[in-house]
């Protein structure tokens, strides 16, 4: 158990819809990262938050947004969904006092029909 919790595990929706993925980091971790794993693009970094503030941005589409709340959980919002958004979305956390490596949640598998 990595200590990082992601919900839901699976999400099936239709094109044009909007979904929210949720992540609770490990206790003590201040950074949350979102990654997308698709068949053709591999594991790609989307966005990082550190203690509530956006810290780094990767290949995140404008239709996607994220935030980190005061209790440090994070949400990734995906809107105007397209078939190509079907992927496994991972959350990871790090940045606690002990400088531990990033540990990943089990992922949310998003399927767009």
Closest to 43 (Cα-Cα) out of 112, 99, 102 = 102
**Binding residue for other proteins, selected from 26, 102, 110, 112, defined by CB under 8 A:** 102
Instruction: Give yes or no for a contact between 24 and 8, defined as CB atoms under 8 angstroms apart.
Output: no
64: contact with other proteins by CB under 8 A: no
Helices (H), 2-74: none
Please compute Rg for the chain using Cα positions.
Answer: 13
70: contact with other proteins by CB under 8 A: no
**Binding residue for other proteins, selected from 17, 18, 54, 56, defined by CB under 8 A:** 56
45: contact with other proteins by CB under 8 A: yes
Instruction: Give yes or no for a contact between 94 and 101, defined as CB atoms under 8 angstroms apart.
Output: yes
Question: Which residues sit at the interface with other proteins, rule CB under 8 A?
Answer: 2, 31, 33, 35, 42-45, 48, 50, 55-56, 58, 88, 90, 92, 94-95, 99-107, 109
């Amino acid at each position: 158990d990595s200590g990082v919790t992601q919900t839901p595990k699976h999400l099936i929706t239709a094109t044009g819809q909007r979904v929210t993925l949720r992540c609770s980091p490990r206790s003590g971790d201040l950074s949350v990262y979102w990654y997308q794993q698709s068949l053709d693009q591999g594991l790609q970094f989307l966005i990082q938050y550190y203690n509530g503030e956006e810290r780094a941005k990767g290949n995140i589409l404008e239709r996607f947004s994220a935030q980190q709340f005061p209790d440090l959980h994070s949400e990734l919002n995906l809107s105007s969904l397209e078939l190509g958004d079907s992927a496994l979305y991972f959350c990871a956390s790090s940045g606690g006092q002990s400088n531990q490596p990033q540990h990943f949640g089990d992922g949310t598998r998003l399927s767009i029909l």
